[in-house]
A = this chain, B = another copy of it.
């Protein structure tokens, strides 16, 4: 129950040196080998573990980096997290994960924690394009990388995918497959990914006007990037006088809800075309197989971490935005309306 079992002073006393020397032993200063060894031994004997809080206070920087994601239950983000971890693994930094739950308040709190705990760096997939404020962090010189989602006006490095282009390619694919009433279920209006993917959808529809494709916002729904939101939005679309014959769903979890809603009314792909932006988790179990825009989630995380590490090492190169490519993986769920 003692508070600090053993400090650097105790080690110093045991080894017959000053605390400064003990510190140098553990931080690579110049110390005579013999003395260094006796310090090591004393530390081991006493079970000394450095107080990271005191160290952070003095160094004005801790040795952990924060990864703030909006939905820990979305495999896309956990895969991204793995990428970040694996990149950090090679350094002495630890990664802690914070789940903002798409809630800007929670997110703000975590950003405050990151600032107050003097974290060495922050990677954030922003809950909101407008409300996420990275200013305090950047103002204090904390390296920050925005991943997947880009807060507006933030002066930070960024890594994302070509959302707009991916959305356009996906929608065009539905057009070519023969669908004519193509709906879009996208995410919350505040998120950059929602907007971009929707923009891609709109662009594709716009250029397909002559082909008799309905381009109408009556077929656009904003949901919450979660299963339930997708389900509700799909139900809503199905209740239209003239329901869509295909749907472009802007993320993986909402696609699950969409498939559920379709199942409820006995309709299945590809009779109704379903195209997911982002692979549905464990898609191998889903029948029919799902056409999806594949996202390099792991690489997104790894790239973000690499960028962050560069900045932490003092790189002063101008801010950069890395855009990773998505690829459309065509499978059975968009085989066309006529086949069914």
Contacts and interface: CB of A to CB of B under 8 A. Distances in A.
Nearest to A47: B136
A112 B110 CA distance: 22
B97 A113 contact: no
A317 interface: no
Contact of A51 (B79, B94, B116): B116
B79 A141 contact: no
A139 B5 contact: yes
Nearest to A101: B85
Interface in A49-66: 49-54, 56-57, 60, 62, 64, 66
Contacts of A287: 287
Nearest to A52: B116
Contact of A64 (B51, B60, B79, B117): B117
A323 interface: no
B2 A140 contact: yes
A127 interface: no
A282 to B, nearest CB: 5
Given A5-B140, A97-B96, A112 B72 contact: no
A265 interface: no
A140 B1 CA distance: 5
A98 B285 CA distance: 29
Contacts of A118: 51-53
Interface string A53-92: 1101100101010100000110100110110010000000
3 tightest A-B CB contacts, nearest first = A52-B116, A96-B96, A97-B97
28 contacts: A1-B140, A2-B141, A5-B139, A49-B115, A50-B116, A51-B57, A51-B118, A53-B62, A54-B57, A62-B117, A64-B117, A72-B81, A73-B78, A73-B82, A82-B99, A94-B109, A94-B113, A95-B98, A97-B97, A97-B99, A256-B284, A256-B285, A260-B284, A260-B285, A280-B282, A281-B281, A281-B282, A287-B287
